[in-house]
Chain A
Amino acid sequence: MTRAAVLLLTALATAPAWVWNPYHLHTLIMAGIFAVLALSLNLLLGYAGQLSLGHAAFFGIGAYATALLTLRLGWSPWLGLLAAIALPGLAGYAVGRIALKLRGAYFVLLTISFAGVVSLVSVNWMDLTNGPLGLPGIPPLEIAVPGLPPLPLRTKGAYYYVVLVVAAVSYLVCRRLIQSRIGRALVALRENETLAESVGIDGTFYLVLAAVISAAMAGAAGGLYAHYTRFVSPEVFLFTYTVTMVIMVVAGGKGTLAGPIVGAIIFTVLPEVLRAVTSWQWQMLLYGIVLVATLLFMPRGIVPALRDRFRLT
Protein backbone atom coordinates (compact mmCIF):
# COMPACT_ATOMS: atom_id res chain seq x y z
CA MET A 1 0.00 0.00 0.00
CA THR A 2 1.25 3.45 -0.79
CA ARG A 3 2.39 5.88 1.85
CA ALA A 4 -0.44 8.21 0.97
CA ALA A 5 -3.01 5.50 1.57
CA VAL A 6 -1.50 4.53 4.92
CA LEU A 7 -1.47 8.16 6.04
CA LEU A 8 -5.09 8.64 4.99
CA LEU A 9 -6.17 5.49 6.77
CA THR A 10 -4.46 6.45 10.01
CA ALA A 11 -6.06 9.86 9.85
CA LEU A 12 -9.48 8.34 9.29
CA ALA A 13 -9.05 5.76 12.01
CA THR A 14 -8.15 8.31 14.64
CA ALA A 15 -10.51 11.06 13.48
CA PRO A 16 -12.61 11.46 16.64
CA ALA A 17 -9.43 12.24 18.50
CA TRP A 18 -8.30 15.17 16.41
CA VAL A 19 -11.57 16.33 14.80
CA TRP A 20 -12.74 18.20 17.88
CA ASN A 21 -15.62 20.02 16.19
CA PRO A 22 -18.74 17.82 16.33
CA TYR A 23 -20.10 19.50 13.21
CA HIS A 24 -17.05 18.40 11.24
CA LEU A 25 -17.37 14.92 12.69
CA HIS A 26 -21.01 14.92 11.61
CA THR A 27 -19.88 15.76 8.09
CA LEU A 28 -17.40 12.87 8.17
CA ILE A 29 -20.07 10.47 9.38
CA MET A 30 -22.37 11.51 6.54
CA ALA A 31 -19.42 11.14 4.16
CA GLY A 32 -18.92 7.62 5.46
CA ILE A 33 -22.55 6.70 4.91
CA PHE A 34 -22.38 8.11 1.41
CA ALA A 35 -19.12 6.25 0.81
CA VAL A 36 -20.93 2.98 1.42
CA LEU A 37 -23.66 4.15 -0.96
CA ALA A 38 -21.17 5.19 -3.58
CA LEU A 39 -19.29 1.89 -3.33
CA SER A 40 -22.56 0.03 -3.81
CA LEU A 41 -23.50 2.05 -6.85
CA ASN A 42 -20.02 1.66 -8.25
CA LEU A 43 -20.45 -2.13 -8.30
CA LEU A 44 -23.29 -1.81 -10.75
CA LEU A 45 -22.17 1.29 -12.56
CA GLY A 46 -18.43 1.03 -12.59
CA TYR A 47 -17.85 -2.66 -12.81
CA ALA A 48 -20.97 -4.14 -14.29
CA GLY A 49 -21.46 -1.12 -16.50
CA GLN A 50 -25.15 -0.69 -15.71
CA LEU A 51 -26.35 2.73 -14.64
CA SER A 52 -28.92 2.36 -11.89
CA LEU A 53 -30.66 5.60 -11.09
CA GLY A 54 -32.96 4.02 -8.57
CA HIS A 55 -30.42 3.34 -5.87
CA ALA A 56 -32.04 5.78 -3.47
CA ALA A 57 -34.86 3.24 -3.34
CA PHE A 58 -32.63 0.59 -1.79
CA PHE A 59 -31.20 3.18 0.58
CA GLY A 60 -34.71 4.18 1.61
CA ILE A 61 -36.01 0.64 1.93
CA GLY A 62 -33.12 -0.16 4.26
CA ALA A 63 -33.79 2.95 6.33
CA TYR A 64 -37.52 2.28 6.58
CA ALA A 65 -36.99 -1.44 7.27
CA THR A 66 -34.90 -0.87 10.33
CA ALA A 67 -37.01 2.09 11.45
CA LEU A 68 -40.27 0.15 11.29
CA LEU A 69 -38.85 -2.99 12.88
CA THR A 70 -37.27 -1.18 15.80
CA LEU A 71 -40.16 1.22 16.36
CA ARG A 72 -43.17 -1.01 15.73
CA LEU A 73 -41.88 -4.44 16.73
CA GLY A 74 -39.26 -3.45 19.26
CA TRP A 75 -36.44 -5.27 17.55
CA SER A 76 -32.86 -4.62 18.55
CA PRO A 77 -31.27 -2.02 16.28
CA TRP A 78 -28.55 -4.47 15.24
CA LEU A 79 -31.21 -6.91 14.00
CA GLY A 80 -32.82 -3.94 12.33
CA LEU A 81 -29.54 -3.28 10.54
CA LEU A 82 -29.44 -6.88 9.38
CA ALA A 83 -32.94 -6.47 8.01
CA ALA A 84 -31.80 -3.25 6.37
CA ILE A 85 -29.25 -5.33 4.50
CA ALA A 86 -31.45 -8.33 3.73
CA LEU A 87 -34.64 -6.64 2.56
CA PRO A 88 -33.09 -4.34 -0.02
CA GLY A 89 -31.03 -7.31 -1.14
CA LEU A 90 -34.24 -9.17 -1.87
CA ALA A 91 -35.63 -6.12 -3.63
CA GLY A 92 -32.42 -5.94 -5.62
CA TYR A 93 -32.92 -9.54 -6.67
CA ALA A 94 -36.47 -8.89 -7.81
CA VAL A 95 -35.61 -5.70 -9.66
CA GLY A 96 -32.47 -7.27 -11.08
CA ARG A 97 -34.30 -10.22 -12.54
CA ILE A 98 -36.78 -7.93 -14.25
CA ALA A 99 -34.52 -5.06 -15.16
CA LEU A 100 -31.44 -6.89 -16.25
CA LYS A 101 -33.10 -8.20 -19.34
CA LEU A 102 -32.60 -4.65 -20.56
CA ARG A 103 -29.57 -2.62 -21.28
CA GLY A 104 -28.52 0.97 -21.53
CA ALA A 105 -31.12 3.68 -21.39
CA TYR A 106 -33.98 1.23 -20.88
CA PHE A 107 -32.36 -0.12 -17.75
CA VAL A 108 -31.85 3.41 -16.48
CA LEU A 109 -35.48 4.32 -16.90
CA LEU A 110 -36.69 1.12 -15.32
CA THR A 111 -34.64 1.84 -12.23
CA ILE A 112 -35.95 5.41 -12.09
CA SER A 113 -39.51 4.12 -12.31
CA PHE A 114 -38.91 1.56 -9.57
CA ALA A 115 -37.61 4.29 -7.29
CA GLY A 116 -40.55 6.50 -8.21
CA VAL A 117 -43.10 3.83 -7.30
CA VAL A 118 -41.38 3.04 -3.99
CA SER A 119 -41.30 6.75 -3.19
CA LEU A 120 -45.00 7.19 -3.87
CA VAL A 121 -45.83 4.12 -1.78
CA SER A 122 -43.89 5.55 1.15
CA VAL A 123 -45.85 8.80 0.91
CA ASN A 124 -49.29 7.29 0.41
CA TRP A 125 -49.33 4.05 2.42
CA MET A 126 -49.96 5.86 5.67
CA ASP A 127 -50.71 2.76 7.71
CA LEU A 128 -47.33 1.26 7.00
CA THR A 129 -44.97 4.19 6.78
CA ASN A 130 -46.84 7.02 8.47
CA GLY A 131 -46.68 8.80 5.13
CA PRO A 132 -45.28 12.30 4.99
CA LEU A 133 -45.19 12.60 8.76
CA GLY A 134 -42.25 10.27 8.81
CA LEU A 135 -40.95 8.07 11.60
CA PRO A 136 -39.32 10.09 14.33
CA GLY A 137 -37.62 8.79 17.44
CA ILE A 138 -35.79 5.83 15.96
CA PRO A 139 -33.72 4.25 18.74
CA PRO A 140 -29.95 4.62 18.48
CA LEU A 141 -27.64 1.68 18.10
CA GLU A 142 -26.56 0.18 21.37
CA ILE A 143 -23.77 -2.01 22.62
CA ALA A 144 -25.11 -4.99 24.50
CA VAL A 145 -22.56 -6.60 26.73
CA PRO A 146 -24.06 -9.66 28.41
CA GLY A 147 -24.72 -9.01 32.05
CA LEU A 148 -24.79 -5.22 31.69
CA PRO A 149 -27.70 -3.08 30.51
CA PRO A 150 -27.39 -2.09 26.84
CA LEU A 151 -25.33 1.04 26.31
CA PRO A 152 -26.88 3.28 23.66
CA LEU A 153 -24.41 4.82 21.29
CA ARG A 154 -25.20 8.46 21.71
CA THR A 155 -21.85 10.04 21.07
CA LYS A 156 -20.73 11.02 17.64
CA GLY A 157 -17.38 9.35 18.13
CA ALA A 158 -19.06 5.99 18.66
CA TYR A 159 -21.21 6.42 15.55
CA TYR A 160 -18.20 7.45 13.58
CA TYR A 161 -16.51 4.15 14.35
CA VAL A 162 -19.59 2.12 13.45
CA VAL A 163 -19.83 3.91 10.11
CA LEU A 164 -16.08 3.55 9.56
CA VAL A 165 -16.25 -0.19 10.19
CA VAL A 166 -19.18 -0.63 7.84
CA ALA A 167 -17.44 1.46 5.19
CA ALA A 168 -14.26 -0.58 5.60
CA VAL A 169 -16.19 -3.84 5.35
CA SER A 170 -17.97 -2.57 2.24
CA TYR A 171 -14.66 -1.65 0.69
CA LEU A 172 -13.21 -5.05 1.46
CA VAL A 173 -16.27 -6.85 0.12
CA CYS A 174 -16.03 -4.87 -3.10
CA ARG A 175 -12.35 -5.54 -3.38
CA ARG A 176 -12.69 -9.29 -2.86
CA LEU A 177 -15.53 -9.36 -5.30
CA ILE A 178 -13.70 -7.44 -7.97
CA GLN A 179 -10.57 -9.52 -7.68
CA SER A 180 -12.48 -12.76 -7.85
CA ARG A 181 -13.98 -14.59 -10.78
CA ILE A 182 -17.20 -12.68 -10.30
CA GLY A 183 -15.40 -9.40 -10.72
CA ARG A 184 -13.64 -10.55 -13.84
CA ALA A 185 -16.90 -11.80 -15.27
CA LEU A 186 -18.53 -8.44 -14.60
CA VAL A 187 -15.76 -6.55 -16.31
CA ALA A 188 -15.94 -8.92 -19.25
CA LEU A 189 -19.66 -8.32 -19.50
CA ARG A 190 -19.14 -4.59 -19.30
CA GLU A 191 -16.56 -4.49 -22.02
CA ASN A 192 -18.26 -6.76 -24.49
CA GLU A 193 -21.29 -8.64 -23.43
CA THR A 194 -21.76 -10.70 -26.55
CA LEU A 195 -18.19 -11.90 -26.44
CA ALA A 196 -18.41 -12.71 -22.76
CA GLU A 197 -21.54 -14.71 -23.22
CA SER A 198 -20.03 -16.55 -26.10
CA VAL A 199 -17.33 -17.90 -23.79
CA GLY A 200 -19.91 -19.13 -21.38
CA ILE A 201 -20.38 -16.30 -18.89
CA ASP A 202 -24.00 -16.20 -17.83
CA GLY A 203 -24.73 -12.48 -18.05
CA THR A 204 -27.98 -12.48 -16.18
CA PHE A 205 -26.61 -14.51 -13.26
CA TYR A 206 -23.62 -12.29 -12.65
CA LEU A 207 -25.46 -9.04 -13.14
CA VAL A 208 -28.26 -10.05 -10.80
CA LEU A 209 -25.63 -11.08 -8.25
CA ALA A 210 -24.05 -7.65 -8.57
CA ALA A 211 -27.47 -6.07 -8.18
CA VAL A 212 -28.21 -8.00 -5.00
CA ILE A 213 -24.90 -7.16 -3.34
CA SER A 214 -25.16 -3.57 -4.48
CA ALA A 215 -28.70 -3.20 -3.12
CA ALA A 216 -27.79 -4.87 0.17
CA MET A 217 -24.90 -2.47 0.64
CA ALA A 218 -27.10 0.53 -0.12
CA GLY A 219 -29.57 -0.81 2.41
CA ALA A 220 -26.83 -1.03 5.03
CA ALA A 221 -26.10 2.65 4.44
CA GLY A 222 -29.81 3.35 4.85
CA GLY A 223 -29.91 1.50 8.13
CA LEU A 224 -26.93 3.45 9.45
CA TYR A 225 -28.58 6.67 8.35
CA ALA A 226 -31.80 5.80 10.15
CA HIS A 227 -30.09 5.08 13.45
CA TYR A 228 -27.83 8.10 13.21
CA THR A 229 -30.31 10.81 12.26
CA ARG A 230 -33.11 8.98 14.13
CA PHE A 231 -35.74 10.33 11.74
CA VAL A 232 -36.87 8.79 8.46
CA SER A 233 -39.37 10.35 6.08
CA PRO A 234 -40.27 9.86 2.40
CA GLU A 235 -37.65 12.45 1.53
CA VAL A 236 -35.00 9.70 1.64
CA PHE A 237 -36.36 8.65 -1.72
CA LEU A 238 -35.74 12.06 -3.22
CA PHE A 239 -34.04 11.93 -6.56
CA THR A 240 -31.34 14.26 -5.21
CA TYR A 241 -29.91 11.39 -3.14
CA THR A 242 -29.50 9.26 -6.25
CA VAL A 243 -28.02 12.18 -8.11
CA THR A 244 -25.56 12.78 -5.28
CA MET A 245 -24.50 9.14 -5.35
CA VAL A 246 -23.97 9.22 -9.09
CA ILE A 247 -21.93 12.39 -8.79
CA MET A 248 -19.73 10.79 -6.19
CA VAL A 249 -19.12 7.68 -8.25
CA VAL A 250 -18.59 9.25 -11.64
CA ALA A 251 -16.69 12.33 -10.49
CA GLY A 252 -14.68 10.23 -8.08
CA GLY A 253 -13.82 7.70 -10.72
CA LYS A 254 -16.09 4.84 -11.59
CA GLY A 255 -14.60 1.44 -12.07
CA THR A 256 -11.99 2.15 -9.44
CA LEU A 257 -12.18 1.15 -5.79
CA ALA A 258 -10.90 4.39 -4.33
CA GLY A 259 -12.94 6.61 -6.64
CA PRO A 260 -16.31 6.35 -4.88
CA ILE A 261 -14.72 6.89 -1.49
CA VAL A 262 -12.84 9.96 -2.64
CA GLY A 263 -15.95 11.17 -4.40
CA ALA A 264 -18.06 10.63 -1.30
CA ILE A 265 -15.71 12.58 0.92
CA ILE A 266 -15.23 15.45 -1.52
CA PHE A 267 -18.88 15.87 -2.42
CA THR A 268 -20.08 15.67 1.18
CA VAL A 269 -17.50 18.16 2.36
CA LEU A 270 -17.90 20.51 -0.60
CA PRO A 271 -21.47 21.68 0.14
CA GLU A 272 -20.52 22.27 3.78
CA VAL A 273 -17.45 24.25 2.77
CA LEU A 274 -19.60 26.28 0.38
CA ARG A 275 -22.17 26.75 3.14
CA ALA A 276 -19.48 28.22 5.35
CA VAL A 277 -17.92 30.57 2.83
CA THR A 278 -20.88 31.79 0.82
CA SER A 279 -24.44 32.78 1.52
CA TRP A 280 -27.28 30.38 0.92
CA GLN A 281 -28.12 31.96 -2.44
CA TRP A 282 -24.82 30.94 -3.99
CA GLN A 283 -24.17 27.61 -2.30
CA MET A 284 -25.82 25.27 -4.81
CA LEU A 285 -25.08 27.39 -7.85
CA LEU A 286 -21.38 27.17 -7.08
CA TYR A 287 -21.77 23.46 -6.36
CA GLY A 288 -23.18 22.92 -9.84
CA ILE A 289 -20.38 24.94 -11.39
CA VAL A 290 -17.69 23.05 -9.47
CA LEU A 291 -19.24 19.77 -10.60
CA VAL A 292 -19.29 20.76 -14.25
CA ALA A 293 -15.75 22.09 -14.07
CA THR A 294 -14.50 18.90 -12.43
CA LEU A 295 -15.92 16.83 -15.23
CA LEU A 296 -14.61 19.07 -17.97
CA PHE A 297 -11.08 18.83 -16.63
CA MET A 298 -11.16 15.26 -15.34
CA PRO A 299 -13.71 13.44 -17.48
CA ARG A 300 -12.87 10.00 -16.21
CA GLY A 301 -13.00 11.03 -12.60
CA ILE A 302 -10.71 12.40 -9.95
CA VAL A 303 -8.92 9.21 -8.91
CA PRO A 304 -7.96 8.14 -12.44
CA ALA A 305 -6.80 11.70 -13.17
CA LEU A 306 -4.68 11.79 -10.03
CA ARG A 307 -3.25 8.40 -10.83
CA ASP A 308 -2.18 9.59 -14.23
CA ARG A 309 -0.69 12.79 -12.86
CA PHE A 310 1.24 11.34 -10.00
CA ARG A 311 1.69 7.83 -11.22
CA LEU A 312 0.32 6.33 -8.04
CA THR A 313 -0.42 2.65 -8.02
Chain B
Amino acid sequence: MEALLQHLLNGLLLGGTYALLGIGLTLVFGLMNVVNFAHGEFYTLGAYATFAALAAASVHFFLAIPLAIVIGALAGAACDRVLLRPLRGESIDTTMLVMIGLWIAMQNAELLVWGGVAKSVPTPFSTQPVVLGPLSVSPLRIFVFGVSALLILGAHLVLSRTKLGRAMRATFQDRETAALMGVSIDRIHMVTFAFGAGLAAAAGALLGPVFLVYPSMGDLAALKAFSVVILGGLGNFVGAALGGLVLGVAEELGAGYISSGYRDAVGFVMIVAMLVFRPSGLFARAERVG
Protein backbone atom coordinates (compact mmCIF):
# COMPACT_ATOMS: atom_id res chain seq x y z
CA MET B 1 0.00 0.00 0.00
CA GLU B 2 2.86 2.26 0.92
CA ALA B 3 4.53 1.55 -2.38
CA LEU B 4 1.34 2.32 -4.27
CA LEU B 5 0.99 5.72 -2.60
CA GLN B 6 4.61 6.53 -3.35
CA HIS B 7 4.11 5.47 -6.96
CA LEU B 8 1.08 7.75 -7.20
CA LEU B 9 2.98 10.66 -5.72
CA ASN B 10 5.92 10.07 -8.05
CA GLY B 11 3.49 9.90 -10.94
CA LEU B 12 1.80 13.18 -10.08
CA LEU B 13 5.08 15.05 -9.75
CA LEU B 14 6.38 13.56 -12.97
CA GLY B 15 3.06 14.30 -14.60
CA GLY B 16 3.35 17.94 -13.68
CA THR B 17 6.55 18.15 -15.69
CA TYR B 18 4.97 16.34 -18.63
CA ALA B 19 2.09 18.81 -18.49
CA LEU B 20 4.49 21.72 -18.76
CA LEU B 21 6.14 20.08 -21.74
CA GLY B 22 2.82 19.49 -23.41
CA ILE B 23 1.15 22.87 -23.13
CA GLY B 24 3.80 24.65 -25.18
CA LEU B 25 3.51 22.08 -27.92
CA THR B 26 -0.27 22.00 -27.99
CA LEU B 27 -0.22 25.67 -28.94
CA VAL B 28 2.24 25.25 -31.77
CA PHE B 29 0.97 21.90 -32.96
CA GLY B 30 -2.66 22.38 -32.17
CA LEU B 31 -3.16 25.96 -33.17
CA MET B 32 -0.47 26.59 -35.76
CA ASN B 33 -0.53 23.08 -37.19
CA VAL B 34 3.25 22.95 -37.19
CA VAL B 35 4.71 19.56 -36.28
CA ASN B 36 7.41 21.09 -34.17
CA PHE B 37 10.15 18.51 -33.83
CA ALA B 38 12.40 21.22 -32.47
CA HIS B 39 10.19 21.57 -29.37
CA GLY B 40 12.64 19.43 -27.42
CA GLU B 41 15.46 21.73 -28.44
CA PHE B 42 13.78 24.83 -26.98
CA TYR B 43 13.39 22.76 -23.81
CA THR B 44 17.10 21.99 -23.90
CA LEU B 45 17.91 25.62 -24.66
CA GLY B 46 16.01 26.69 -21.56
CA ALA B 47 18.01 24.25 -19.46
CA TYR B 48 21.35 25.36 -20.88
CA ALA B 49 20.38 29.02 -20.51
CA THR B 50 19.72 28.44 -16.82
CA PHE B 51 23.01 26.61 -16.46
CA ALA B 52 24.93 29.32 -18.30
CA ALA B 53 23.29 32.13 -16.34
CA LEU B 54 24.19 30.48 -13.06
CA ALA B 55 27.67 29.37 -14.03
CA ALA B 56 28.89 32.24 -16.13
CA ALA B 57 27.02 35.25 -14.80
CA SER B 58 26.30 34.09 -11.25
CA VAL B 59 22.69 35.09 -11.62
CA HIS B 60 20.49 34.07 -8.71
CA PHE B 61 18.57 30.84 -9.21
CA PHE B 62 15.14 32.44 -9.04
CA LEU B 63 16.13 35.01 -11.64
CA ALA B 64 17.77 32.49 -13.95
CA ILE B 65 14.48 30.76 -14.65
CA PRO B 66 12.58 33.80 -16.01
CA LEU B 67 15.71 34.70 -17.93
CA ALA B 68 15.73 31.29 -19.57
CA ILE B 69 12.07 31.67 -20.49
CA VAL B 70 12.75 35.00 -22.15
CA ILE B 71 15.67 33.54 -24.09
CA GLY B 72 13.51 30.64 -25.24
CA ALA B 73 10.73 32.97 -26.34
CA LEU B 74 13.15 35.17 -28.28
CA ALA B 75 14.66 32.13 -29.97
CA GLY B 76 11.17 31.01 -30.89
CA ALA B 77 10.29 34.39 -32.33
CA ALA B 78 13.48 34.40 -34.40
CA CYS B 79 12.72 30.90 -35.60
CA ASP B 80 9.28 31.86 -36.77
CA ARG B 81 10.50 34.99 -38.51
CA VAL B 82 13.39 33.34 -40.31
CA LEU B 83 12.19 29.84 -41.02
CA LEU B 84 8.44 29.62 -40.79
CA ARG B 85 7.29 32.87 -42.32
CA PRO B 86 8.87 32.22 -45.76
CA LEU B 87 7.21 28.82 -45.79
CA ARG B 88 3.84 30.01 -44.60
CA GLY B 89 1.81 28.61 -47.46
CA GLU B 90 3.64 25.33 -47.81
CA SER B 91 2.39 21.93 -46.78
CA ILE B 92 2.63 20.63 -43.25
CA ASP B 93 5.38 18.23 -44.30
CA THR B 94 7.71 20.93 -45.50
CA THR B 95 7.45 22.91 -42.28
CA MET B 96 7.85 19.69 -40.34
CA LEU B 97 11.03 18.94 -42.21
CA VAL B 98 12.41 22.41 -41.55
CA MET B 99 11.74 21.82 -37.87
CA ILE B 100 13.63 18.54 -38.15
CA GLY B 101 16.57 20.35 -39.70
CA LEU B 102 16.43 22.89 -36.92
CA TRP B 103 16.36 20.09 -34.37
CA ILE B 104 19.50 18.52 -35.83
CA ALA B 105 21.28 21.84 -36.09
CA MET B 106 20.37 23.04 -32.58
CA GLN B 107 21.31 19.80 -30.88
CA ASN B 108 24.66 19.62 -32.60
CA ALA B 109 25.30 23.29 -31.88
CA GLU B 110 24.65 22.64 -28.19
CA LEU B 111 27.04 19.71 -28.37
CA LEU B 112 29.66 21.94 -29.93
CA VAL B 113 29.29 24.75 -27.42
CA TRP B 114 28.91 22.85 -24.16
CA GLY B 115 30.31 19.44 -24.99
CA GLY B 116 28.75 16.09 -24.34
CA VAL B 117 29.38 15.95 -20.60
CA ALA B 118 26.18 16.41 -18.63
CA LYS B 119 26.05 19.54 -16.49
CA SER B 120 24.39 19.78 -13.14
CA VAL B 121 22.59 22.93 -12.10
CA PRO B 122 23.03 23.90 -8.45
CA THR B 123 19.85 24.85 -6.62
CA PRO B 124 19.24 26.60 -3.29
CA PHE B 125 17.08 23.71 -2.12
CA SER B 126 18.12 21.03 0.32
CA THR B 127 18.69 17.57 -1.02
CA GLN B 128 17.09 15.94 1.99
CA PRO B 129 13.64 14.68 1.16
CA VAL B 130 10.52 16.02 2.82
CA VAL B 131 8.93 13.12 4.64
CA LEU B 132 5.14 12.89 4.77
CA GLY B 133 4.35 9.75 6.69
CA PRO B 134 5.41 6.81 4.57
CA LEU B 135 6.04 9.03 1.57
CA SER B 136 9.03 11.10 0.66
CA VAL B 137 9.52 13.82 -1.92
CA SER B 138 12.29 16.29 -2.62
CA PRO B 139 11.72 20.02 -1.98
CA LEU B 140 12.97 20.84 -5.46
CA ARG B 141 10.28 18.75 -7.08
CA ILE B 142 7.60 20.45 -5.01
CA PHE B 143 8.94 23.79 -6.20
CA VAL B 144 8.92 22.63 -9.82
CA PHE B 145 5.39 21.34 -9.52
CA GLY B 146 4.25 24.59 -7.97
CA VAL B 147 5.85 26.80 -10.60
CA SER B 148 4.55 24.57 -13.40
CA ALA B 149 1.03 24.90 -12.05
CA LEU B 150 1.40 28.69 -11.93
CA LEU B 151 2.75 28.83 -15.47
CA ILE B 152 -0.02 26.63 -16.80
CA LEU B 153 -2.63 28.74 -15.05
CA GLY B 154 -1.02 31.94 -16.26
CA ALA B 155 -0.85 30.77 -19.84
CA HIS B 156 -4.44 29.64 -19.72
CA LEU B 157 -5.51 33.04 -18.46
CA VAL B 158 -3.59 34.81 -21.20
CA LEU B 159 -5.20 32.64 -23.83
CA SER B 160 -8.74 32.88 -22.56
CA ARG B 161 -8.98 36.32 -20.98
CA THR B 162 -6.69 38.71 -22.78
CA LYS B 163 -7.06 40.46 -26.11
CA LEU B 164 -3.89 38.79 -27.31
CA GLY B 165 -5.28 35.41 -26.46
CA ARG B 166 -8.45 36.17 -28.33
CA ALA B 167 -6.48 37.30 -31.35
CA MET B 168 -4.49 34.09 -31.25
CA ARG B 169 -7.51 31.89 -31.08
CA ALA B 170 -9.23 33.85 -33.81
CA THR B 171 -6.28 33.62 -36.16
CA PHE B 172 -6.12 29.91 -35.93
CA GLN B 173 -9.80 29.39 -36.27
CA ASP B 174 -10.21 31.50 -39.35
CA ARG B 175 -7.30 33.42 -40.70
CA GLU B 176 -9.03 35.55 -43.27
CA THR B 177 -11.72 36.78 -40.99
CA ALA B 178 -9.22 37.54 -38.28
CA ALA B 179 -7.22 39.58 -40.76
CA LEU B 180 -10.35 41.41 -41.77
CA MET B 181 -10.88 42.21 -38.13
CA GLY B 182 -7.49 43.91 -38.01
CA VAL B 183 -5.35 41.20 -36.53
CA SER B 184 -1.77 41.20 -37.79
CA ILE B 185 -1.42 37.58 -38.87
CA ASP B 186 2.35 37.52 -39.08
CA ARG B 187 2.72 39.01 -35.64
CA ILE B 188 0.26 36.57 -34.09
CA HIS B 189 2.12 33.64 -35.62
CA MET B 190 5.36 34.90 -34.21
CA VAL B 191 3.89 35.53 -30.78
CA THR B 192 2.26 32.10 -30.67
CA PHE B 193 5.43 30.30 -31.61
CA ALA B 194 7.41 32.37 -29.13
CA PHE B 195 4.83 31.53 -26.48
CA GLY B 196 5.19 27.82 -27.16
CA ALA B 197 8.96 28.02 -27.23
CA GLY B 198 9.02 30.05 -24.04
CA LEU B 199 6.91 27.44 -22.24
CA ALA B 200 9.23 24.70 -23.49
CA ALA B 201 12.21 26.69 -22.24
CA ALA B 202 10.44 27.09 -18.90
CA ALA B 203 10.10 23.33 -18.66
CA GLY B 204 13.79 22.99 -19.40
CA ALA B 205 14.78 25.65 -16.90
CA LEU B 206 12.78 23.89 -14.19
CA LEU B 207 13.71 20.33 -15.05
CA GLY B 208 17.39 20.95 -15.76
CA PRO B 209 18.13 21.20 -12.04
CA VAL B 210 15.97 18.15 -11.25
CA PHE B 211 17.75 15.95 -13.72
CA LEU B 212 20.89 16.93 -15.62
CA VAL B 213 21.57 19.11 -18.62
CA TYR B 214 22.95 17.49 -21.78
CA PRO B 215 22.41 18.02 -25.50
CA SER B 216 20.10 15.07 -26.19
CA MET B 217 17.83 15.68 -23.19
CA GLY B 218 15.15 17.09 -25.44
CA ASP B 219 14.54 13.99 -27.56
CA LEU B 220 12.65 11.93 -25.02
CA ALA B 221 10.99 15.04 -23.65
CA ALA B 222 9.62 15.95 -27.08
CA LEU B 223 8.16 12.50 -27.52
CA LYS B 224 6.39 12.74 -24.16
CA ALA B 225 5.15 16.16 -25.14
CA PHE B 226 3.52 14.79 -28.28
CA SER B 227 1.87 12.04 -26.23
CA VAL B 228 0.50 14.61 -23.82
CA VAL B 229 -0.85 16.74 -26.64
CA ILE B 230 -2.76 13.81 -28.09
CA LEU B 231 -4.08 12.74 -24.71
CA GLY B 232 -5.39 16.19 -24.05
CA GLY B 233 -6.60 16.99 -27.52
CA LEU B 234 -4.83 19.23 -29.99
CA GLY B 235 -4.95 22.86 -28.99
CA ASN B 236 -6.68 21.99 -25.72
CA PHE B 237 -4.69 23.70 -23.01
CA VAL B 238 -6.40 22.31 -19.96
CA GLY B 239 -6.50 18.94 -21.67
CA ALA B 240 -2.76 18.96 -22.09
CA ALA B 241 -2.24 19.81 -18.45
CA LEU B 242 -4.50 17.02 -17.28
CA GLY B 243 -3.12 14.72 -19.94
CA GLY B 244 0.36 15.25 -18.56
CA LEU B 245 -0.75 14.16 -15.12
CA VAL B 246 -2.50 11.11 -16.53
CA LEU B 247 0.58 10.12 -18.50
CA GLY B 248 2.86 10.56 -15.50
CA VAL B 249 0.73 8.42 -13.22
CA ALA B 250 0.15 5.77 -15.89
CA GLU B 251 3.87 5.47 -16.62
CA GLU B 252 4.74 5.27 -12.98
CA LEU B 253 2.18 2.57 -12.28
CA GLY B 254 3.13 0.68 -15.42
CA ALA B 255 6.80 0.74 -14.55
CA GLY B 256 6.06 -0.17 -10.98
CA TYR B 257 3.64 -3.02 -11.50
CA ILE B 258 4.17 -4.33 -15.02
CA SER B 259 7.73 -3.90 -16.18
CA SER B 260 10.28 -1.13 -15.96
CA GLY B 261 11.71 -1.93 -19.37
CA TYR B 262 8.39 -1.29 -21.05
CA ARG B 263 7.84 1.96 -19.18
CA ASP B 264 7.78 4.18 -22.23
CA ALA B 265 5.44 1.76 -23.97
CA VAL B 266 2.73 2.88 -21.58
CA GLY B 267 2.66 6.28 -23.21
CA PHE B 268 2.57 4.81 -26.67
CA VAL B 269 -0.15 2.30 -25.87
CA MET B 270 -2.21 5.06 -24.34
CA ILE B 271 -1.87 7.11 -27.50
CA VAL B 272 -2.90 4.19 -29.64
CA ALA B 273 -5.87 3.42 -27.43
CA MET B 274 -6.81 7.08 -27.30
CA LEU B 275 -6.62 7.51 -31.04
CA VAL B 276 -8.63 4.41 -31.73
CA PHE B 277 -11.38 4.98 -29.23
CA ARG B 278 -11.46 8.69 -28.50
CA PRO B 279 -9.21 10.59 -30.88
CA SER B 280 -10.16 14.07 -29.84
CA GLY B 281 -8.56 13.46 -26.50
CA LEU B 282 -9.74 12.57 -23.06
CA PHE B 283 -10.93 16.01 -22.21
CA ALA B 284 -12.32 17.48 -25.36
CA ARG B 285 -15.79 17.33 -26.75
CA ALA B 286 -15.99 14.64 -29.39
CA GLU B 287 -15.07 15.99 -32.78
CA ARG B 288 -14.45 14.57 -36.22
CA VAL B 289 -10.89 13.56 -36.78
CA GLY B 290 -11.11 11.16 -39.66
Contacts and interface: CB of A to CB of B under 8 A. Distances in A.
Determine whether A and B are in direct contact in the complex, meaning some CB atoms lie less than 8 angstroms apart: yes
Interface of A: 45, 51, 98-99, 101-106, 108-110, 112-114, 116-117, 120-121, 123-124, 239, 243, 246-247, 250-251, 254, 281-282, 284-285, 287-289, 291-292, 295-296, 299-300
Interface string B87-111: 1001011101110111111101101
Nearest to A51: B93
Given A117-B265, A246-B96, 17 more contacts: A101-B290, A106-B279, A108-B35, A113-B227, A113-B275, A114-B272, A120-B265, A120-B268, A124-B261, A239-B219, A285-B104, A285-B108, A288-B103, A292-B101, A295-B101, A296-B86, A299-B94
Interface residues of B, number: 46
Contacts of A110: 271-272, 275
A124 B259 contact: yes
A127 to B, nearest CB: 13
Nearest to B115: A281
Given A113-B268, A285-B109, A295 B98 contact: yes
A284 B108 contact: yes
B83 A292 contact: yes
Contacts of A287: 104
A174 B97 CA distance: 23
Contacts of A51: 92-93, 96
B80 to A, nearest CB: 14
B223 A116 contact: yes
A256 to B, nearest CB: 14
A172 to B, nearest CB: 25
17 contacts: A98-B276, A99-B275, A105-B234, A110-B271, A113-B227, A116-B265, A120-B261, A120-B268, A123-B261, A124-B262, A239-B219, A247-B100, A285-B105, A295-B94, A295-B98, A296-B87, A299-B90
B105 A292 contact: yes
B48 interface: no
B3 interface: no
B98 A296 contact: yes
B289 A251 contact: no
Contacts of A246: 93, 96-97, 100
Contacts of A112: 223, 226, 268, 271
A289 B102 CA distance: 8
A291 B97 contact: yes
Nearest to A292: B101
B101 A288 contact: yes
A77 to B, nearest CB: 31
Sorted from nearest, which 7 A-B pairs have the closest CB atoms? A288-B105, A288-B104, A291-B101, A292-B101, A285-B108, A113-B268, A116-B268
B289 A103 contact: yes
B269 interface: yes
B29 interface: yes
B182 to A, nearest CB: 29
Contacts of B264: 116, 120
A189 to B, nearest CB: 12
Contacts of A300: 90, 94
Nearest to B30: A105
A289 B107 CA distance: 12
Contact of B275 (A109, A254, A296): A109
